[in-house]
Chain A
Amino acid sequence: MSSETSRMKFMCDSSRCIQCFACSVACAEAHDLPVGISRRKVVTLHEGVEGKEVSVSIACMHCSDPPCAKVCPVDCFYIREDGIVLHDKKKCIGCGYCLYACPFGAPQFPRDGAFGMRGVMDKCTMCAGGPEKTNSAEERRFYGQNRIAEGKVPICAAVCATNALLVGDAEDVSAIYRKRTSSRGKGE
């Protein structure tokens, strides 16, 4: 169903998420993330309350009209043709404005400067690397793996045991989700 104007999206089906943290751990491991940074987080609400407990995995949602890109004072964001929102760490000044604009709390800042000063922003790349040469050592050091370039699924969705975390073209993802909800309770 992919078309020229397809946009890559994540979607976490909270009815399937079992709070195993595989996505979050695999992400940190695959991209060699610095301590204190987790591009993907699993958050649980109403923990321990029977029937109400629900978990969901959250990272950058790769918005269609990303507010982070609008507020950046140095214009370090760029949006790939497939809709993946990336940024250039060589331009970023770590000001924190993208975090204030983001609805999902996606941007994070390692305290790796002298005196623990904030460094440049880090966030989920949907495993698509950054502006450096694809699969170069530099790209890997700054942004982690570029699995998309290798034709692989982002690591978080790849390791999700319950297939709660879906990724792909927005239309495909919502079609899967629609099918799941409409067939629920029909013994499929």
Chain B
Amino acid sequence: MKTIIVFIITILMLTSMAYAAESMIWGNMLIGNILSYGTKDSLNMGPLFTILQSQYFRNIFLVIVIGVPAVFLMHYLVLGARFFSHDGKKVYVFSLFNRLIHLLAAISFLVLIPTGLMMIFGVYFGGGPLVMTARHLHGLATALFFLAVIPMFFFWVADMLPTVDDIKWIAIFGGYLSRKQSEVPAGKFNAGQKMWFWIATLGGIVMIATGAAMYFQDFNLGIASAFGLSQIDLLRASAIVHNIMALLITALFITHVYMSLFAVKGAINSMITGYKEEQELKYLHSSFYRKLKAQNKI
């Protein structure tokens, strides 16, 4: 408890120090920023951000939030869900700690993504206090996500390293393109889950960093200068990276939800109870299943 309090006080002191310093945006560097805006030897970040934000981001997000669910709806209607017997044996795969941290991450994503989209499509919500509140919730959920992402990274990272199975899994699209029930090459996690893990954790940390930069806006922790950027260019870069990464996260989050709720019936249960159906493991995580068998754990 004491360490936590010391930690919080240190952070507060650091931020107030960063704020107390002279403005990094509206001070004397203002002239340099004005003169270099869009010039040949500048990074051209201002005009780049303007073009991306005014002409591309919103449209690409529209394609993702409509396109990705549409593709899965087609998949569901044409190929249908997978069913595995729920009468067979069950195998304990996720500890209570795993499940709680996953729940925390799930809640934060369920806030982060809709509120992020509300800002992007803010004009259709009429802007104002509603969208402003969404923005504040987005910031609050970041704190929750921060608590979840670090333990999640460490307890799963070993199982998420790439293996030969992953290449085979990708080659057959995880078997999701056929109706046939065959053993799919995968360890405890398949290549798709691994992809989501890396985007959600490392990508999530990038989201926290770029989001924090935009949140604090005028600070001086030597970060911008370490990248050789002006503070305003650091903010522009953060906004660009945050939006591009958000596209990936949104697309993969929808995929993750489809897979666990719809594509594989009952898959969500393992994250609630900790137990996975033996049949599900046998077919969808065949290498892991064989390993457990060999170790006499089933």
On A, residues with C-beta under 8 Å from B are 38, 41, 43-45, 56, 58, 67, 70-71, 73-76, 90-97, 99-105, 108-109, 113, 117-118, 120
Least CB distance, B92 to chain A, in whole angstroms: 42
A56 cross-chain contacts in B, Cβ below 8 A? 31
Interface residues of B in 118-147 (CB under 8 A from A): 119-123, 125-128, 131-132, 134-136, 139
List residues 26-81 of chain B with CB under 8 A from any CB of chain A: 26-28, 30-31, 33-34, 37-38, 46-47, 49-50, 53-54, 58
Chain A residues, Cβ within 8 Å of B132: 93-94, 120
Q: Do most interface residues of chain B lie in helix, strand or loop, or is the interface mixed?
A: helix
- Interfacial chain A residues near B215, Cβ < 8 Å: 118
Given contacts A96-B217, A103-B34, A105-B26, contact A71 B128 (CB under 8 A): no
Task: Give B237 Cβ to nearest chain A Cβ, in Å.
Answer: 9
A156 to chain B: closest CB distance in Å? Answer: 16
Considering only residues 123-173 of chain B, those with a C-beta below 8 Å from chain A are 123, 125-128, 131-132, 134-136, 139
Residue in A44, A91, A93, A96 whose CB lies within 8 Å of B214:
A96
- Shortest beta-carbon distance from A57 to chain B in Å: 11
Task: Verify B136–A113 contact, CB threshold 8 A.
Answer: yes
* Cross-chain contact B128 with A43 (CB below 8 angstroms): no
CA distance A103 to B232 in the complex (A): 10
CB distance from A91 to the nearest CB of B (A): 4
Among A100, A103, A109: residue with most chain B CB under 10 A: A100
By a CB distance below 8 angstroms, the chain A residues around B268 are: none
Known: A67-B54, A100-B239, A102-B46. 16 other contacts (CB 8 A): A45-B28, A56-B31, A67-B50, A73-B121, A73-B123, A93-B127, A93-B128, A97-B53, A99-B217, A100-B46, A100-B49, A103-B34, A103-B46, A104-B34, A109-B217, A117-B136
Residues in A neighbouring B276, C-beta threshold 8 A: none
Which residues from B are CB-within-8-Å of A104?
Answer: 30, 34
Which residues of A lie under 8 Å from residue B38 when comparing CB positions? 103
The answer, yes or no, to whether B235 is at the interface (CB within 8 Å) is yes
Report Cα–Cα, A56/B46, bound state, in Å.
Answer: 22
Residues of B within 8 A of A105 (CB): 25-26, 30, 33-34, 232
Smallest distance from the beta carbon of A84 to chain B beta carbons, Å? 20
Chain B residues contacting A113 (CB-CB under 8 Å) are 136
A97 touches B239 (CB 8 A): yes
Residues of A within 8 A of B135 (CB): 93-95
24 A/B residue pairs, CB under 8 Å, sorted by A: A41-B26, A41-B30, A58-B31, A67-B46, A67-B47, A70-B50, A70-B53, A71-B54, A73-B119, A73-B121, A74-B122, A76-B127, A93-B119, A93-B127, A93-B128, A93-B131, A95-B135, A97-B53, A100-B235, A101-B53, A105-B25, A105-B33, A108-B26, A113-B136
Residues of B within 8 A of A (CB): 25-28, 30-31, 33-34, 37-38, 46-47, 49-50, 53-54, 58, 119-123, 125-128, 131-132, 134-136, 139, 214-215, 217, 232, 235-236, 239
Report B-chain residues with C-beta under 8 Å of the C-beta of A90: 127-128
Which of B50, B126, B235 is in CB contact (< 8 Å) with A96?
A: B235
Whose C-beta in chain B lies nearest to the C-beta of A88?
B127
Residue of A nearest to B38 (CB): A103
A45 pairs with B136, CB closer than 8 A: no
